A and B are shown apart, each in its own frame.
Chain A
Amino acid sequence: MPELNEDPPDEARAARRLVHTIAPAVIRSGREVISAELALTVFRQMIRTRALEERSIKMSKSGEAYFWIGGPGEEAFNVCLGLQVNKGFGPAHDFLHLHYRNSGVMVAMGMPMIDHVRQLAMRWTDPHSKGRNFVGHYAVKAWNVVPVSSVIEVQFAMAPGTALVQRRHGLRNPHEAEGITVVVGGEAGTAEGDFESCLNWSTRPGAELPVLMLVTNNRFGISTDLHSVSVDQRVADRAAPYGIRAETVDGNDPVLVWNALDRAMRYCRRERKPFLLEAHVSRMHGHSSSSGAQRNWAEADPLAAFEQKLIDCGATDTATVKLMREDAKREADDAVVQAMSEPEPAREDVPAFTYARSSVDAVYPEDYTGLPGMQ
């Protein structure tokens, strides 16, 4: 009996037709499965993420925006992560230390497309940075998404801090002991000492921390091939000296990456210990707009592959996919039209939000107002 989503032998053509008219209950990759319902949810969020990224690239080329950086090719990994986050505010929920290729995480968590576009379009309405930061540099306090920085790997030095508070919170409140810290970076960044800091600080004896370290391995740091600057071994092997549990997964396969994330998150939540998960992903449009953001046809497309898989096994059909794609494209287009009509930052907005209100500061009790004595 062939697996449901494998090609059956030719002589069973009639039987195949029959199978394909009945929607499958599960989608398989090797020995791993996810429900078909979940697969379609993941697929839809992957389509929306891709539409948003393609529209973003267009904005950077059309003059509606400048610099673009993002994660086309990482949709499978990002959406599966975003859908499994324990979303909320405070140490009972997950903290997210993301990097700048995680639009899919945010889309899957429920971020409206327009909030991404507002940042790219440098609007004062940009909820992440008031038009100050590059696109994909999210900051959402209500969801514990701490500000994304362009500085590579600093998030790995910060992750032990949020995890330390979560560890303590869980010990004091056993019914709220499932919040973990999720930190994401690329494989090139693991050359920074901050990666090692995270491994070390997460495994202090008696003070192990619930940190899920995620490394999306696209094999390149801008233009530099990983294997030209680092010994040829799994990034996941870096966990071994610290006794940290680790796994490497094909991040382009939603079935595999969903299950790998599920296992890793379960472990961090319940054992209150770190886990290192390395996911191999594609980088379909190069590093950023600075390298042209052209489609690199040598890179596998996780969205196209998943679409084919779902159609082949009868979970969806081409007409439905076409509609989903059109919906997503329209949603992204509408977001751009709306965002472009919104106000831009003004001259008087430059110093705003430098300082929080302070009762113990004689010069800046409210916010920064220019050099002392020049207000």
Chain B
Amino acid sequence: MATIAQAIRMALHYGEKHLGVTDVFGEDVGPPLGGVFTATQGLKTAWNTPLDERGIIGTAMGIAYAGGRPVCEIQFCDYAFNVIDMLKVAGNQRWASGGEFDMPIVVMTPTGAGIRGSLYHSHCFESWASRLPGWKVVMPSNALDAYGLMLAAIQDPNPVFVLLPKALLRARDTRLIPGEPADPEELSRMIDAPVGDRTDWEPQWPEVGEHIVHIGTAELVREGNDGTIISYGRPLPLCVQAADELARDHNHSFDVIDLRSIFPYDWNTITRSVAKTGRVLIVNEDTEVTNYAEHLLRRVVDEHFYDLTVRPRTLMGKHVPGIGMHQNYERNSVPQLGDIRAALRELATDAA
């Protein structure tokens, strides 16, 4: 029943205790705040850095070179653009050194719109991240996957981006992380820092257990025959809701794939579903020009051209410079439930 923020916190605690995590750091990551989304409260190895993203990524790389196991945070992915060349370097260290140097770093960062964040708390990052060879990029849409993907990211000896959908960070899962108390109120009493003075506060960590979501594994969250929806992160629950509504109201059924890994992605799951349905819609909230979804679309066209019964589709964010503060800006530039529902209906009913 944890939120994504709580799940990340518990995963990092598990990482400190069992997986050798030496440092959890970034801007406002350590006490007293424990992260602007509370994802790093109470962690033993959490510390605050100067307000310097290049220093954060560079220091993570240095810690990794010297044998440490760092997890660092860029407070919002909107502030990762000034560090894109450091990310490039981190991704190529192993290849460039002919296998001499591994780069076991985890970078987590909140991504996407949905928190009324205006221009600079609403960017998406998965398309940028997908253009960093040498990296692995994961993006959960729920707390249990956030826990499992974070444990995988920590254990993977390569650089891994954990992109966290901002709008879902406080979304509660219906399932439990192994070892998590069943009562969400109890969990909150144990691991949420109190409001106000926290000087003497210490978390009471539940004995959380191992739960790994392997990198490169998608989850088929709904099964059906009238089309394939591929999504991840924030729009994923909307896709599920739209599919459920269309099943109820119009008797259409869909395969809904939660991709979970941007790279490497689970091509086997995609290809199996597309071959079955012949109809595909890819949904994300990133801007539509040179969007990661276009890569998936290219592979669908290349490898399933004769399996497709209707034209394959994408539903993406508008190519505009930003998300405006007034909700009309966001509602009309980022795919909404209604947009997804309409696109799905069209996908299912388009004449073959």
B214 at the interface (CB under 8 A from A): yes
B58 at the interface (CB under 8 A from A): yes
B181 CB to nearest A CB, Å: 26
What total count of A-B pairs have CB within 8 Å? 186
A residues less than 8 Å from B88 (CB atoms) = 151
Which chain A residue lies CB-closest to B70? A161
In angstroms, Cα B104 to Cα A149, docked, is 18
A200 touches B50 (CB 8 A): yes
B267 touches A159 (CB 8 A): no
Q: Which residues of A from 142 to 186 have beta carbons under 8 Å from B?
A: 144, 146-147, 149, 151, 154, 156-166, 181
Residue of A130, A358, A372 near B265 (CB, 8 A) is A372
Query: Which label, helix, strand, loop or mixed, suits the secondary structure of the B interface?
Result: mixed
Which of A13-21, A330-338, A349-357 faces chain B? A349-357
B residues less than 8 Å from A164 (CB atoms) = 23, 59, 62-63, 66, 68
B residues less than 8 Å from A359 (CB atoms) = 155
Asked if A353 meets B216 with Cβ closer than 8 Å, knowing A95-B65, A201-B59, A358-B157, the reply is: no
B95 touches A354 (CB 8 A): yes
B114 CB to nearest A CB, Å: 28
Contact residue range for chain B? Answer: 35 or more
Interface string of A197-234 (1 = CB under 8 A from B): 10011001000000000000000000000000000000
In angstroms, Cα B97 to Cα A229, docked, is 34
B54 touches A194 (CB 8 A): yes
B66 touches A165 (CB 8 A): yes
A141 at the interface (CB under 8 A from B): yes
A161 touches B271 (CB 8 A): no
In angstroms, Cα B266 to Cα A158, docked, is 33
A358 touches B215 (CB 8 A): yes
A161 touches B96 (CB 8 A): no
Q: Which residues of B from 213 to 232 have beta carbons under 8 Å from A?
A: 214-217
Q: Which residues of B from 66 to 112 have beta carbons under 8 Å from A?
A: 66-68, 70, 85-86, 88-89, 93-102, 104
B299 touches A163 (CB 8 A): no
B residues less than 8 Å from A163 (CB atoms) = 62
Interface string of A332-375 (1 = CB under 8 A from B): 00000000000000000000111111111111100000011110
For the complex of A and B, the 5 pairs showing the least CB-CB separation, nearest first, are A161-B62, A157-B58, A373-B267, A363-B216, A165-B66
Besides the known contacts A356-B158, A358-B157, 19 further A-B residue pairs in the complex with CB atoms under 8 A apart: A127-B100, A129-B97, A137-B96, A141-B101, A151-B85, A151-B89, A157-B58, A157-B86, A161-B58, A164-B59, A164-B66, A201-B52, A356-B102, A358-B155, A362-B217, A363-B215, A363-B264, A373-B271, A374-B267
| Listed A/B pairs (10) with beta-carbon separation below 8 Å | A157-B58, A157-B59, A161-B59, A161-B64, A161-B70, A162-B63, A164-B23, A353-B97, A356-B104, A358-B156
